[in-house]
Structure 1
Amino acid sequence: MAKIVNISEIHPTLGFTEFDILEKYRKSFNESELGKLHSVFPFECMAKAAGLSDRRLGRRNRFSPSAKIALMVLKAYTGFSDRQLVEHLNGNIHYQIFCGIMIPPSLPITNFKIVSAIRNEIASRLDIDSFQELLASHWKPYLDNLHVCMTDATCYESHMRFPTDMKLLWESLEWLYRHICRHCRELGIRRPRNKYRNVAESYLSYCKKRKRRAS
């Protein structure tokens, strides 16, 4: 089991040599792009807004509340998968400083699913409105033209799927039949004879016979 500790907890126990080495790492971290990114996030306030707290009873969390938020920011920044993120976190001291933790080289994290567990925990508690208000107030000194409202097109949901030819054909028939019914109703005329119901039954039978792939 990985023995993860918060950096703030090990400072009093470090010897002079180890302390100097850690301070050199911290200095290089603060001068790096990752350190500059860390400085603009109020991780403690974000963890509090998300309702994250250290459990006083039961098994102790490997990551502190602020470390969980930092880990999710780090994942979005790097674009790594959960497995890749854990692998880099084990060996990159700057990533560990970003999350405020220290992972002994002899006891690395082996369970990469801890990332998805943290993500699910935050998602179950996340309140987007309060987070936006918190970040807006924290980033206000860095923002210009506050009277201008701009929206990135990538913020809108996209719907991507990979339908079969049969599915596309059936959706076309559904669309056509729906419009025929509407136009006939608006014009007050009878609908032309068709075999839509027979085709619908055949398509339903086809769907039931399809092999379902395990997700």
Structure 2
Amino acid sequence: MVEIQKISEIEPRLGFTEFDMLKKYRQSFATSELGRLHVLFSFSELARQMHLKSPALGRKSYFSPEGKIALMILKPYTNFSDSQLIERLNCNIHYQLFCGVQIDPLHPLTNPKIVSAIRQELADRLDIESLQPILADHWKPYLENLHVCMTDATCYESHLRFPTDTKLLWEGIVWLHRHLCKHCRILHIQHLRNKYLDVSRAYLAYSKLRKRKKSQTRMVKRRLLQLLGISISNVLRGNPPKNINKKCMNFMASVCFK
């Protein structure tokens, strides 16, 4: 008669190769760069501070609260787009271990919008000032020279563009028109009539053109010069309204063209 043995005695000889393979994946993940990155974050404390919880009602979320934060860290680490991240997550076991999920190869994730939905959810709950102490306490054993504070700043030029004649003329007209409207309101007088709206529509239509003919450029430039000249002449010596005196005109000219 065969003696009955305890399961603990025969367990090492049972051939569960798939569990052995998963165990090897976990061991390789712990020694990989991604595994070392996973250790640097206290996902449970971050999720608790952000008040992330699994929904009690409705459909169960595919990612746990800790997995959502891990997924948002994995995206800038890999520099993938949303669709690329989901595609790699389906086939990379280390990515799945990092996010705490196990994806069935026969039923992979197909909706890349889940990444943007999680990003929006975390953005609504994000409070950097409350999360910084948690990260600082967790990273303190890895930091050296705690008495040193270092900052980094990057300066770069912005709003660079080619200064064409039409752009410079239009910017001058906009600046002058804005100041004229402002001082007319201050002096409680009627605004001087001009073709600003018509020229504005013409310049907008011209700026939207991909290919501009020389004749179109000359026409727009001519209209801009005429409008700018009329606006300047109206302020300096031109046709003032009947209800405005010379002192008001001198005030507007001194403010706009000082």
In structure 1, distance between residues paired with 2:18 and 2:204: 65
* Structure 2 counterpart SS, 1:63: coil
Unaligned 5+ runs, structure 1: 1-14, 182-194
* Structure 2 counterpart SS, 1:61: coil
* Structure 2 counterpart SS, 1:101: coil
In structure 2, distance between residues paired with 1:41 and 1:82: 22
Matches within 5 A, 1:191-210: 198-199=195-196, 202-203=199-200, 206-207=203-204
CA spacing shift, 1:161–1:70, aligned 2, 3 Å: farther
Q: Which amino acid aligns with 2:118?
A: I
Matches within 5 A, 1:48-197: 48-153=48-153, 168-169=167-168, 172-173=171-172, 177=176
Q: Which amino acid aligns with 1:33?
A: E
Q: Which amino acid aligns with 1:34?
A: L
Give 1:151 deviation, angstroms.
1.9
* Structure 2 counterpart SS, 1:98: helix
* Structure 1 counterpart SS, 2:85: helix
Give 1:164 deviation, angstroms.
9.9
In structure 2, distance between residues paired with 1:56 and 1:137: 31
Give 1:209 deviation, angstroms.
9.2
Structure 1, residues 52-100: CA drift from partner, whole Å, max 9, x if none?
A: 1001111111110000000000001000000000000000000000001
Give 1:17 deviation, angstroms.
2.7
Q: Which amino acid aligns with 2:172?
A: L
Give % identity.
Answer: 52
Unaligned 5+ runs, structure 2: 1-14, 181-191, 209-258
Q: Which residue of 2 aligns with 1:21?
A: 21
Structure 1, residues 94-129: CA drift from partner, whole Å, max 9, x if none?
A: 000000110010000000110000000000110011
Give 1:169 deviation, angstroms.
3.4
Q: Which amino acid aligns with 1:73?
A: I
Which structure carries more relative contact order (alpha carbon 8 Å, separation 6+)?
A: 1
Q: Which residue of 2 aligns with 1:42?
A: 42
Structure 1, residues 28-65: CA drift from partner, whole Å, max 9, x if none?
A: 11111111111111111111111110011111111100
CA spacing shift, 1:172–1:74, aligned 2, 3 Å: same
What's the TM-score, normalizing by structure 2? 0.60
In structure 2, distance between residues paired with 1:113 and 1:166: 45
In structure 1, distance between residues paired with 2:125 and 2:169: 40
Q: Which amino acid aligns with 2:67?
A: A
What's the TM-score, normalizing by structure 1? 0.71
Which of structures 1 and 2 has the bigger CA Rg? 2
CA spacing shift, 1:46–1:201, aligned 2, 3 Å: farther
Q: How many residues align?
A: 184
Q: Which amino acid aligns with 1:169?
A: L
Give 1:210 deviation, angstroms.
7.8
CA RMSD of aligned residues (A): 3.7
Give 1:16 deviation, angstroms.
3.6
In structure 2, distance between residues paired with 1:57 and 1:33: 37
